[in-house]
Amino acid sequence: MARIVVVTPNPAIDVTYTVAAQSIGETHRVETVEQRPGGKGVNVARVLALLGHEPVALLPLGGAAGSWMSDAIARLGLDLIAFPIAGETRTTVAVVDPEHHPTLFAEAGPELSPDEVAALRERIRAACVDAELLVVSGSLPPGVSADEVGGWVAAAHSEGALALVDAGGRALRAAAVAGADILKPNEAELLEATGAADVASGIAALVELGANTVVVSRGANGLVAVDPTGARFEVAAIPRVDGNPTGAGDAATAGVASAFLDGLAMPDLLRRAAALGAAAVLRPVAGEIDLDAYRRFVSTDHGASQ
Amino acid sequence: MARIVVVTPNPAIDVTYTVAAQSIGETHRVETVEQRPGGKGVNVARVLALLGHEPVALLPLGGAAGSWMSDAIARLGLDLIAFPIAGETRTTVAVVDPEHHPTLFAEAGPELSPDEVAALRERIRAACVDAELLVVSGSLPPGVSADEVGGWVAAAHSEGALALVDAGGRALRAAAVAGADILKPNEAELLEATGAADVASGIAALVELGANTVVVSRGANGLVAVDPTGARFEVAAIPRVDGNPTGAGDAATAGVASAFLDGLAMPDLLRRAAALGAAAVLRPVAGEIDLDAYRRFVSTDHGASQ
């Protein structure tokens, strides 16, 4: 199977605190603590591994938190390229009580120095030597400009690897300008990055910038794609799937990458992405999928249309 | 100077998040992250070092968080005995905005196994071989019974060291039963542990159990002590000191330990404790004191009385 390099530019330890009730300005006894390696690229790599691909997760990691991440990713059985940085890997804290949506506290992450940014691009290039595909998924840490994502796409291309970018904002536009082979934003990211009023105009804006294939995940509204010929494809979401949507977009990204490498036609690619998104919703934890459900979903025609 | 072993049974990484505003169920961008080694015993050891004593901080530490604590304590210049445990050292998160008191999330801490509990007592005993004083300060982790604190006091005594316990609840009572040389609860801990209605009855209850000297810190109301002869001493707090009271009780504990080892008479011991508590209030961070202010406070008679 093809080797895939999956970059998580700004990984985080995802900590979940369970409390009996929340009250601002008060002291809370934390009843349970869960801690897992987080970051969209980490989720993508996990799903790719479950699909039988050989992903290698490439992450800037630093400090004691970075060591923990490194160990935790090894325990998941994922290949890891730990890119050492001076700063401390960030944490995100989610506080969960029986009444509210989780309260999230997201750290910005460690700032990379200019030397680290340059060395990271070179490390990504070197990792692409034996790879067929570079996947970049997630937000950027302080110190890394959006344009740098274009540099990563160019680095992949210079080694003969394809590039898929799942990002928002200026990073998405920079990836388009650099000619990324696939862009895979979600709908909100697409509209925000392009300033477009609807998905079709947003995709057109990215194509205008230089994008090739664009795949947009739309949650319960399925996926939309435009290929380099300008043909438009659409697939509905798998109906009646209830659960935790966190990580569904990352599973869909893994599906797009996987189908792209397997040479599937666009309707089949979208079906795989939709089935994986739904199979991720069935699992309480981001980065996991219900494999049996995935196989069931993907073998049923839910009406991809051109 | 005398060697002092300071045990923090359940240390924590103290993380402070600054946010623009807090809202339950929402996502918060964390603007600044501060991370410091926490735990009452760590604060006590830092103040003892500032006073010129030779404290060694003894902490159960585990996991990546334990490694971070170990490095951070070394950076403070403190001698450290890291007692290795299988669990992960806990974190406490304080969320600060411009409007509210900090919102605190306190993890319970890693559970120590029975083998670890036995080995910890033995490690404390061994550390006391060359020590004059054992200080136990702070709450207990899961798996460590309150009675174990009595075992630590006995371990110190078996090596000829004295024992000072700054704790609450059943641990305070167990330390009294074991004949700890000094108990140093704050007022709330004393009343809660003994069920007494006032400080005098609370102290009497501890003496009844077997306590020797009892020193009670009362925040803005100063300190009260009873020595083994039953004599009662009191000192007012240093007036007109505004700042951060977190850590003031720990600085007072360090003052009690320091004065006890220096052989000061009880009124001078209380004056030192009060001056250190006030000097800690002047610093924004627990574990630090304003040394100049301390010298000024301790040289002024604020009216200790018998």
Per-residue pLDDT of chain A (306 residues; tens, 9 = 90+): 459 999 999 999 999 999 999 999 999 999 999 999 999 999 999 999 999 999 999 999 999 999 999 999 999 999 999 999 999 999 999 999 999 989 999 999 999 999 999 999 999 999 999 999 999 999 999 999 999 999 999 999 999 999 999 999 999 999 999 999 999 999 999 999 999 999 999 999 999 999 999 999 998 899 999 999 999 999 999 998 888 888 899 999 999 999 999 999 999 999 999 999 999 999 888 889 999 999 999 887 655 565
Look at residue B301 in the predicted model and tell me its pLDDT. Answer: 63
Q: What is the arithmetic mean of pLDDT over B273-298? A: 91
User: Measured between CB atoms, does B142 come within 8 Å of chain A?
Assistant: no
Look at residue A304 in the predicted model and tell me its pLDDT. Answer: 57
Q: What integer best gives the mean pLDDT of chain B?
A: 94
* Partners of residue A26 in chain B, C-beta under 8 Å: 101, 103-104
Look at residue A285 in the predicted model and tell me its pLDDT. Answer: 81
Look at residue A2 in the predicted model and tell me its pLDDT. Answer: 58
- Hey, are the CB atoms on A28 and B107 less than 8 Å from each other? no
User: Which pTM was predicted?
Assistant: 0.88
* Partners of residue B103 in chain A, C-beta under 8 Å: 23-26, 28
Helix (H, G, I), strand (E, B) or coil at B187: helix
Mutation site for B-interface testing, chosen from A15, A17, A24, A69 by largest number of B Cβ within 10 Å: A24
Distance, CA of A126 to CA of B196 (rounded, Å)? 70
- Give percent of chain B with pLDDT exceeding 70: 97
Look at residue A1 in the predicted model and tell me its pLDDT. Answer: 46
Specify whether A71 is catalytic: no
- Hey, are the CB atoms on B88 and A28 less than 8 Å from each other? no
pLDDT band for position B1 (50/70/90)?
Answer: very low
ipTM of the complex: 0.87
With a cut of 70, say whether residue B115 has pLDDT above it: yes
Distance, CA of B212 to CA of A279 (rounded, Å)? 65
Strands B27-30 and B90-96: unpaired
Segment 260-299 of chain A within 8 Å of chain B by CB: none
Distance, CA of A288 to CA of A46 (rounded, Å)? 7
- Hey, are the CB atoms on A26 and B104 less than 8 Å from each other? yes
Q: What is the arithmetic mean of pLDDT over B51-80? A: 96
Q: Which one of B79, B250, B262, B290 is the catalytic residue?
A: B250
CA B186 vs CA B214, B223, B231: distances in Å: 10, 9, 19
Helix (H, G, I), strand (E, B) or coil at B205: helix
Closest CA in chain A for residue B92: A30
Report the residue from A30, A68, A100 with minimal CB separation from B108.
A30
Look at residue B121 in the predicted model and tell me its pLDDT. Answer: 98
- Over chain A, what HEC string results? CCEEEEECCCCEEEEEEECCCCCCCCEEEECEEEEEEECHHHHHHHHHHHCCCEEEEEEEECHHHHHHHHHHHHHCCCEEEEEECCCCCEEEEEEECCCCCCEEEEECCCCCCHHHHHHHHHHHHHHCCCCCEEEEECCCCCCCCHHHHHHHHHHHHHCCCEEEEECCHHHHHHHHHCCCCEECCEHHHHHHHHCCCCHHHHHHHHHHHCCCEEEEECHHHCEEEECCCCCEEEECCCCCCCCCCCCHHHHHHHHHHHHHHCCCCHHHHHHHHHHHHHHHHCCCCCCCCCHHHHHHHHHCCCCCEC
- Hey, are the CB atoms on B29 and A106 less than 8 Å from each other? yes
Distance, CA of B102 to CA of B207 (rounded, Å)? 37
Distance, CA of A249 to CA of A277 (rounded, Å)? 6
With a cut of 90, say whether residue B105 has pLDDT above it: yes
pLDDT band for position B74 (50/70/90)?
Answer: very high
Minimum distance, in Å, between the CA of residue A287 and any CA atom of chain B: 20
Q: What is the CA radius of gyration of chain A?
A: 19
Strands B133-137 and B162-166: parallel
Report the residue from B25, B29, B67 with minimal CB separation from A103.
B25
**What are the structure tokens assigned to A148, written together?**
């740098």
Burial class (CB in 10 A: 0-12, 13-18, 19+), B287: buried
Q: A258 phi and psi, to 5 degrees?
A: -60, -45
Q: What is the arithmetic mean of pLDDT over B173-200? A: 97
Q: A196 phi and psi, to 5 degrees?
A: -80, 160
Per-residue pLDDT tens digits for B30-59: 999 999 999 999 999 999 999 999 999 999
Q: What is the arithmetic mean of pLDDT over B71-90? A: 96
Distance, CA of B40 to CA of B253 (rounded, Å)? 9
* Partners of residue A68 in chain B, C-beta under 8 Å: 63-65
Strands B162-166 and B182-183: parallel
Which residues make beta-bridge pairs with A105?
A93, B28
* Partners of residue B17 in chain A, C-beta under 8 Å: 93, 105, 107
The one-letter amino acid code at B306 reads Q
* Partners of residue A105 in chain B, C-beta under 8 Å: 17, 19, 28, 30, 93, 95
Minimum distance, in Å, between the CA of residue B172 and any CA atom of chain A: 21
Report the residue from A67, A90, A107 with minimal CB separation from B64.
A67
With a cut of 70, say whether residue B306 has pLDDT above it: no
Q: Which one of A71, A250, A268, A290 is the catalytic residue?
A: A250
Segment 30-59 of chain B within 8 Å of chain A by CB: 30-31, 33, 35
Contact between B264 and B305 under an 8 Å Cβ cutoff? The reply is: no
Residue identified by tokens 């100049």 is: B292
Helix (H, G, I), strand (E, B) or coil at B1: coil
